[in-house]
Amino acid sequence: MATALRIVAALAIAALILVPLFGSEYLISFAFTTFLFVGMAYGWNLISGYTAYVSFGQISFFGIGAYAMAILVAKLSWPWPFAALAGVAAAALLAAPLGWAMLRLRGPYFALGMLGFMQVLYMVASAWSGLTNGGEGIYLPPVRSLRPVYLASLLMVAAGLGVTSMIDRSAFGLRLRSIGEDEIAAEAMGVDTTRAKLAAFVLASIFPAMAGGLYAYRLSYVDPSSAFPASYEVQVILMAIFGGAGTVWGPLVGGVLLTGVAEVLWARFAEMHLFLFGLIIVIVLRYMPEGLVPLLRQRAARRSGPVLPKEATG
Amino acid sequence: MTPHIFLQLIVNGIMVGGVYGLMSLGINLVWGVMGVVNLAHGDFIVAAGFLTFWLFTRFQVNPLLAFPAGVAMGFAIGVLTQKFLLGRVPQDRGAVKTSLLMTFGVSYMLINAAQLLFGNEFQTVMFLPGSWRMLGLDFAKSRALAFLVAAAISLLLWAFLRFTFIGRAIRAVSQNPEGASVCGIDIDRTRVVSFGLGSALAAAAGALLVTIFAISPAMGTGYTVRSFAVTVIGGLGSFPGALLGALILGLSEVFTGYLASAQIANGIAFLLFLAVLLARPRGLFGRAVL
């Protein structure tokens, strides 16, 4: 079983790396978009899936990544990979003090705080026209080939999956889960909750920042509304909870399945897709609150029958 | 800034603050009773604003006559949301998280529905132009009227919570759900009524706001943050706190709008919210919640 899985995984990775060599522009572009969302879903999952801190403002970091890319490439003519990394660094540097302030707040306070923070960044991006050109936006040089950014987005997904699976099995992951279960109890057990959740928050900011940078590079244009797209926030959260928040595979499964759905929705009901996303969020929470991955796992466990302890089977 | 402009800004800030107070009472009530913040609160505000706008432009209905319709719609949406969505969330440790996410979903359904019906443009209802002049200061008629209606409704709500059975039940559940339950109060029903009432208050504020500001479907989130900020500044569960918080926000926005720009004024709610939470988490008057 394990060997078969490994072979499948190796084949999948090989296929994904070969996509840019043989795939059509459309396929590459579709896969690129999918990976951006999967990566962001992994980011959201780290802070809001494992702990109880639901953030509705992760798109703030997306905007920082997007503006870092635009300013560094268009105004200072940096090569794009450095600009993307600089965006990530900027987001992480901002996330540290922001997390220090915000993570003292729980439940609705944290949720609304992050929502408000995103609005403040939007306001700053609109008002500070010396840096961002305000509402006019910044134009980047047009992209000649999608292949390099495609590989970067693939790398981001691999990082998301790798980091999450490491955390999931580590003591750090256990600390995060204990914060999600009952923060006061976790503290009483000696967990340094402030440190754990701050680390998760900073780590979680990296993914949307990277995605924002790559997105801006691909779009060749950044203005406040494309840098802080509220609809992406909805989509990312939906993907994480649909796949299964607080699981290793959830963001990947949810992201891949729903980007496909989003593509269809976008093509057929472009005007209504936000409504449908909202509706799916509500339906998922109502009927499948754990998400798809835990549900499938339970089904599989039930099919293979009750697992008896070794002593009992003798 | 001349003393005259200073006084004029204070008048404007107080009038806006009155409406902000009304909209924050809804979030305060729901939060107190259920421990949940409705992220679609601002979208209920905008929805009622658009209903008022639609009735006014399409059928020339006076906004004061349309007002009850907006409030009734808000109450109905709230009752349905609580009955079929939030009320079905299992009350375990994940309840707050699930409820927040759920109202987030509802929020985007409403934003998109408003966009489909009314487009993305800013709309307003200009039914009472001009202003009254008193003591050398201008009282814009529409703002003054909105302030008076908001104040009257806030007073009615206070009386309702104080003197009626349902009102007392709501307060009892927000203070101690187990105790209230032991005394024979139907908690689920009280929650449905509270959520409906909270949404009705949002709708009332929205129907007034559209007569003094231009609104667009995407503005709902901003009003959710404002309502929440007012509640945080004043303190959860405190009536005078909510009104004082609303005045502080209204005045800050008006002064920032005058001294800097309207764009920057939009971010003030968040900054006040953060400052109060870091310095005094229970707000100016509220009970400890953190």
In this prediction, residue B274 has a pLDDT band, given cuts at 50, 70 and 90, of confident
Q: pTM for the complete prediction?
A: 0.86
Residue B37 falls within a domain, yes or no?
A: yes
**How far is B111 from B55, CA to CA, in rounded Å?**
19
Is the model more confident about A14 or about A62? A62
Q: What is the pLDDT of residue B287?
A: 56
Residue A270 falls within a domain, yes or no?
A: yes
**How far is B180 from A185, CA to CA, in rounded Å?**
27
Q: B101-113, pLDDT tens digit by residue?
A: 999 999 999 999 9
Among A22, A18, A38, smallest CA distance to A151 is for: A18
In this prediction, residue A314 has a pLDDT band, given cuts at 50, 70 and 90, of very low
**B278 contacts A282? CB cut-off 8 A:** no
DSSP letter at A141 equals P
Interface ipTM: 0.85
Residue A184, CA atoms < 13 Å, CB-side half-sphere: 3
Task: Identify the contact set of chain A against chain B, taking CB-CB distances under 8 A.
Answer: 52, 54, 56, 101, 104-109, 111-113, 115-117, 119-120, 123-124, 126-127, 181-182, 230-231, 234, 237-238, 241, 271-275, 277-282, 285-286, 289
Report the domain count for chain B.
1
From the list B90, B269, B290, which residue is nearest A106 (CB)? B290
Residue B118 falls within a domain, yes or no?
A: yes
Residue A128: phi, psi to the nearest 5? Answer: -90, 70
In this prediction, residue B286 has a pLDDT band, given cuts at 50, 70 and 90, of low
Query: Quick one: which H or E segment has residue B89?
Result: none
Is the model more confident about B50 or about B88? B50
Q: B216-232, pLDDT tens digit by residue?
A: 898 888 899 899 889 88
Q: A69-118, pLDDT tens digit by residue?
A: 999 988 888 888 898 999 999 999 999 999 988 888 877 888 888 888 88
Residue B70 falls within a domain, yes or no?
A: yes
Question: Cα–Cα distances in Å, from B156 out to B163, B199, B210?
Answer: 10, 16, 22
**How far is B12 from B5, CA to CA, in rounded Å?**
10
From the list A106, A117, A272, which residue is nearest B112 (CB)? A272
Of A183-192, A258-267, B4-13, where does mean pLDDT reach its minimum? Answer: A258-267
Residue A90 falls within a domain, yes or no?
A: yes
Residues in CB range of A175: below 8 A, 6 or more apart: A186, A191, A192, A193, A196
Q: What average pLDDT score do residues A39-52 get?
A: 92
Nearest CA in chain B to A105: B290
Residue A126 falls within a domain, yes or no?
A: yes
Residue B248 falls within a domain, yes or no?
A: no
Q: Which domain holds residue A14?
A: 2-302
Assigned token pair, B60: 């020339």
Residue A227 falls within a domain, yes or no?
A: yes
DSSP letter at B92 equals S
pLDDT at B53 over 70: yes
Q: How close B289 comes to chain A (CA, Å)?
A: 10
Residue A16 near residue A154 (C-beta atoms within 8 A): yes
**B111 contacts A274? CB cut-off 8 A:** yes
**How far is A109 from B233, CA to CA, in rounded Å?**
12
Residue A308: count other Cβ atoms within 10 Å of its Cβ: 9
Assigned token pair, B37: 């913040």
Of A7-11, A53-57, A156-160, A287-291, where does mean pLDDT reach its minimum? Answer: A7-11
Assigned token pair, A149: 């950014």
Residue type, B261: S
Q: How close A98 comes to chain B (CA, Å)?
A: 11
Residue B104 falls within a domain, yes or no?
A: yes
From the list A54, A274, A275, which residue is nearest B97 (CB)? A54
Residue B226 falls within a domain, yes or no?
A: no
Nearest CA in chain A to B277: A105
DSSP letter at A135 equals G
Residue B137: phi, psi to the nearest 5? Answer: -115, 150
Residue A313 falls within a domain, yes or no?
A: no
pLDDT at B61 over 50: yes
Q: What average pLDDT score do residues B238-248 get?
A: 86
Q: Which domain holds residue B184?
A: 9-128+159-216
**A54 contacts B89? CB cut-off 8 A:** no
Report the domain count for chain A.
1
Assigned token pair, A118: 């995103």
Q: Residues of B with CB below 8 A from A105's CB?
A: 277, 290
Residues in CB range of B126: below 8 A, 6 or more apart: B142, B211
Query: Quick one: which H or E segment has residue B229?
Result: helix B220-234
DSSP letter at A142 equals P
Residue A308 falls within a domain, yes or no?
A: no
Where are the extended beta strands (E) located within B115-224?
131-134, 137-140
In this prediction, residue A312 has a pLDDT band, given cuts at 50, 70 and 90, of very low
The CATH number covering residue A293 comes to: 1.10.3470
Residue B152 falls within a domain, yes or no?
A: no
pLDDT at A189 over 80: yes
Assigned token pair, B112: 């998109």
Q: B144-165, pLDDT tens digit by residue?
A: 888 898 889 988 988 888 899 8
Residue A6 falls within a domain, yes or no?
A: yes
pLDDT at A305 over 70: no
Of B11-20, B28-37, B65-74, where does mean pLDDT reach its minimum? Answer: B28-37
Q: What is the pLDDT of residue A309?
A: 54
Residue B206 near residue B216 (C-beta atoms within 8 A): no
**How far is B118 from B219, CA to CA, in rounded Å?**
13
**How far is B153 from B216, CA to CA, in rounded Å?**
25
**How far is B25 from B31, CA to CA, in rounded Å?**
10
**A105 contacts B290? CB cut-off 8 A:** yes
Residue A16 falls within a domain, yes or no?
A: yes
B33, B99, B101: best to mutate for the A interface, most A CBs within 10 A? B101
Q: What is the pLDDT of residue A1?
A: 53
Assigned token pair, B48: 């009622």
Residue A170: phi, psi to the nearest 5? Answer: -90, 170
Residue B46 falls within a domain, yes or no?
A: yes
Residue type, B256: T
A124, A272, A281, A290: best to mutate for the B interface, most B CBs within 10 A? A281
From the list B90, B94, B101, which residue is nearest A237 (CB)? B101
In this prediction, residue B288 has a pLDDT band, given cuts at 50, 70 and 90, of very low
Q: What is the CA radius of gyration of chain A?
A: 20
Strand-pair partners of A96: none
